[in-house]
Each structure stands twice: as structure tokens, then as C-alpha cells.
Homo-oligomer: A and B are copies of this chain.
Amino acid sequence: MTLNPASDAFIAALQAQLPEGTVRPADPRFLEEPRGRFFGSPDQHVALPHTTEQVSTIVKACNAARVGIVPFGGGTGLVGGQVMQDGPTPLILSLERMNRILGVYPLENVIEVQAGVILSEVQAASEEVDRLFPLSLASEGSARIGGNLASNAGGVNVLRYGNTRDLCLGIEAVLPTGDILQGMTRLRKDNTGYDLRGLMVGSEGTLGIITGAALKLSPRPSSVGTALMVVENPAAALRLLALARSHVGEAVSAFELLHRQGLEFVAETLPDIRQPFSAPSDWTVLIELGMVARADETLEEIFVHALEEGLVTDGVVAQSAQQRTDFWSLREHIPVANKRIGSVSSHDISLPLETLPDFIARAGQVIASLGDFRINCFGHLGDGNLHYNVFPAQGRDRSEYENMRDQVKFAVHDLVAEYSGSFSAEHGVGRLKTGDLMRYGDPAKVVAMKAIKQALDPLGIMNPGVVLPA
């Protein structure tokens, strides 16, 4: 069952069904992605609907003509889910014009949004009513909530508040038939059939187009404390996490692991970013508490306690909002620095928490056995989610390692599989990791996924080649 290209005749017919300017040649920004691995052919068109009904019209037309649809959110995805470079020319679908906040319900802790709203605008609208929308990630200034939902985005607050799926009460979506799923409910409890919300969230545009969502808000912690603490090794970091939790329960909002390598990359490529320690230690933890009161003092208490137990060797609790911002800026610039250095292979992995120290030790040995590399291992330690990125040795360039990329990747992912971990903790499968899913995925899961895809999208028009091979 092959797809047809979006021909001139198809585009013209679709244009005739929609307001002028809705379907037009795609700007270059729709044809590239941040990793630079996938490029869309320049003859593609983009549809920019204003309403859910127009989305339905577009999907129905594609379904009737068997034309592929590539949904495009903010374009920030890291696994190539938003750009199709092979196969019959698809139609790109961007919801950037569907960017309205539909309702805010502070008493209910709910916000209703269209899918094209930028994540930071969802955060801002929530803050306006003294609520927190906890999803927070580096690209929040350009990522659109529809893309966050489609990819079940993670970020720095998962530890406390969960992934995007956990933050979503209901969705409106256009199914591959063009029918509209009217699921934008504000209900906290609704046990009336299969969880299509959860299924659509994280399906990366392969089962339908999410057009709107009702999202959970949380009380805004009135007292926030942030600290950097130096630990001897990842095992000590995990014990620090346990210590912090025994003090404050769920109030630990973020627990990020930084490696010396990352801080050195930042110092080298982004010298303006303030670094609190003159000589970075091997392992540093960024910890944040969000509480009703006394977060700073509590963090000091935890620090003293951890010092006494020998879990930390140094540390600094942010004494001002500026210093807190600095700590986070340091954390958030690590991926920027990584990009400037240029990785051989990057991995977004997760492991059962207890196995993390052992994994990090073994992975280091495995990579060393393959050649001369630098490793920047950092990320959302509290969730067991590491960005385990492998770089050229000092003074060498990534181009020299081109032929080793797959070897490195498989070495890391094989080890992850051995520890019952995941080869994609938060970025998704996209087009980049379909091979990994086939290699590491549970066979019964893959069979069931294919059956579901076939059932909901029998012609395979929705984001062809993403998650499952085309």
C-alpha cells in the first residue's frame, strides 16, 4: 500500500476547499530539524489551518487521495519526527495559527489550549492566575504544546509532576479518517472506555492530529530553593536524592546530574555563562525544592545533613533569584555547548534508578574500549533519565568518527537493554530510532502497535515512517 505524492492537482483541489493562504509552499523552516540529520525536499507544501474543522478537511482530503501528512509543531523535536525526506511528497501540517488559550479554570487547576500555543505561553497564562503548568524544557520558547503532547515531552520537572501525558486531562484530535475526537474534557475522573487520550499522546502524529488539550495545573510553590551540590559519584547522588526526599517528600521538583565534561564544554564554548565553582568537580547535582515555605532553609538543612553523612563535598544554595537563574542557565546551556563541540553519538536513555551508578561505570569502560572519546553524561537523574553523549577526543573532530557512530550507538543501547532501560526516555522514536524500536522493542508490543496503527490509519497517511517503519 504505497502513498501518493501531494501533486499539483491535489494541492490545487485542497486550496480550493480552504481560505486563501491556508495551503502554500513550505518555507525552509518546515524542512529542517535541530540535529541536521533530516531535510525535507523543497517542493513540499504546508497547510496552516485556523480551525479544527479545517484540519478535518485537510486530513479527509489526504485520506481520500492517500497522501501522507507530516505534522509540524514548533520544530524542536530531536528525532526527526517533523521532517520527512524520503518517499512520496507529503503535505506538512502546522497548527501555528491555532494558538489560542481557550479557557483558564484556576479553581479546577485546568487550562484549555489549542495545539499551536507555544509552551512558554501556556506557562505564562497559568502564572497569571497564580498556577503552575509544570512542563519545562530547554526549547519552551518555541516548542508548541501540540508537539509536546504528540511526543509526550519530559523535561526538568517530571520527577515531581510527570511527563506531558500525566499533565493532560483530555484532548481534541482529528483522527486519520478526518473525524474529530471530542475528548477535551476537564474531568479528573472519567472511566468510560479506552484511554484514547493516553494513546494519542506520545504517538508522534502517527495516529491523528492533536488540535487542543485540557491540561492540569498545579499550585505554584510559594517558596523555591535551588542549590548545586558536589557529590563524589552517581551513587552518592542517588543517596542524596533519597535523603532530600526523606526530608521533604514530593517537594523535590528537580534533581539534575551534571558532569565535569559538560561544565568544561560550557566554559570552552560559552565563556559568558557564569560557573559557580572555579574548578568543576566530576559530578555536580542541581537540586530544586518547591514548597509552601522555607525552601531555602530546608535546602541548607539537607545540605548540612548530606555533608555529615559524607554524601556531598561542596555546595552552594542560591541566595537570590539571579543566582537561581544562573544555576539553571548553566544546566540549560549544556546542550548548547554540546552542539558546539559536536557529538559523535547522543543518547536519551533511562535506566531503573538503582542500576544507574553501575551502568555509568560500565558504559564508560565500553566506550573507552571502542576508542578515544570524551563523554558528557548529564540529565534528569531523579527520573533515571540520562543524556549520555559521546564526543571526539580533545583536539579531534566528529568527522573523524563518522564511521564509528553506529558502533557507539549500539554499544550504548545494547548496554541499556541489558539493564532493562529505554533507548528513548523523553525524545521519542521519530524517524531516527525506528530501527532501535525494531531491535530492542518487545516483539509483542511492536505487533500490537502495528495492529493499532493499521486499525486507526489503514492507509498509513499519518506521519509516514515515524515510530513504525513506513
Give the distance in Å from the alpha carbon of A423 to the alpha carbon of B451 in the complex: 30
Do B445 and A451 touch across chains, with their CB atoms under 8 A apart? no
How far in angstroms is the closest Cβ of chain B from A144? 18
* A445–B107 CB distance below 8 A: no
List A280-322 residues whose CB lies under 8 Å from chain B. 291-292
The one of B187, B248, B351, B436 in contact with A421, judged by C-beta atoms closer than 8 angstroms, is B187
Q: Which residues of chain A in 175-192 are interfacial with respect to chain B, using CB atoms and an 8 Å cutoff?
A: 175, 179-183, 185-192
Contact status B183-A442, CB under 8 Å: yes
* Other-chain contact of A189, B110, B194, B350 (Cβ < 8 Å): B350
B194 touches A199 (CB 8 A): yes
Q: Are B444 and A181 in contact (CB under 8 A)?
A: yes
Q: Find out whether the CB atom of B422 lies under 8 angstroms from the CB atom of A189.
A: yes
Does A249 lie within 8 Å of B219, measured CB to CB? yes
Instruction: Please tell me which one of the listed residues B107, B183, B202 contacts residue A194 in the complex, with CB atoms under 8 A apart.
Output: B202
List B contacts of A187 (CB < 8 A): 350-352, 384, 420-422, 425
Question: In the assembled complex, how far is the CB of residue A370 from the closest CB belonging to chain B, in whole angstroms?
Answer: 24
Which of A249, A251, A427 has its CB near the most chain B CB atoms (within 10 A)?
Answer: A249
The answer to whether B455 and A454 touch across the interface, beta carbons within 8 angstroms, is yes
Q: Please determine whether B154 and A191 come into contact, CB atoms closer than 8 angstroms.
A: yes
Q: Is A203 among interface residues, defined by CB-CB distance under 8 A?
A: yes
Copies of this protein in the assembly total 2
Given known A190-B350, A249-B221, A455-B451, contact A445–B195 (CB-CB < 8 A): no
Any B CB within 8 A of the CB of A63: no
Q: Given A181-B448, A449-B196, is A292 in contact with B191 using a C-beta cutoff of 8 Å? A: no
Chain B residues closer than 8 Å to A108, beta-carbon distance: 352-354, 384
**Using Cβ atoms and an 8 Å threshold, which residues of chain B touch A429?**
191-193
What are the interface flags for A349-386 relative to B under an 8 Å C-beta threshold, 1 for contact and 0 otherwise? 01111100000000000000000000000001001110
Q: Is A393 an interface residue (CB 8 A)?
A: no
A180: min CB distance to chain B, Å: 6
B191 touches A152 (CB 8 A): yes
Contact A248:B196 (CB < 8 A) given known A175-B444, A186-B352: no
Which of the candidate stretches A20-28, A35-43, A158-166, A226-234 sits at the interface with the other chain?
Answer: A158-166
In the assembled complex, the CB of A238 is this many whole angstroms from the nearest CB of chain B, namely 6
Residues of B within 8 A of A437 (CB): 192-193
In the assembled complex, which residues on chain B have CB atoms less than 8 Å from the CB atom of A449? 193-194, 196
Interface residue? A4 (CB, 8 A): no
Which of A159, A221, A428, A455 lies at the interface centre, i.e. has the most chain B CB atoms within 10 A of its CB?
A455
Q: Choose the segment among A239-247, A267-275, A325-333, A403-411 that binds chain B (4+ C-beta atoms closer than 8 Å).
A: A239-247
Q: Give bound CA distance, A425 to B191, whole Å.
A: 5
Given A162-B166, A193-B467, 19 other A-B contacts at CB below 8 A? A107-B353, A175-B444, A175-B448, A179-B443, A179-B444, A185-B422, A187-B421, A187-B425, A188-B350, A188-B384, A188-B385, A189-B383, A189-B425, A191-B429, A194-B199, A194-B452, A196-B448, A198-B199, A248-B292
- Closest 6 pairs between A and B when the two form their complex, measured CB to CB: A198-B198, A455-B455, A219-B249, A451-B455, A189-B425, A190-B422
Can you sample 23 A-B contacts with CB below 8 Å? A106-B242, A107-B353, A108-B353, A110-B352, A152-B195, A162-B166, A180-B444, A181-B445, A182-B444, A182-B445, A186-B352, A187-B351, A187-B422, A192-B423, A193-B445, A194-B199, A194-B207, A195-B195, A199-B199, A219-B250, A247-B292, A249-B291, A251-B292
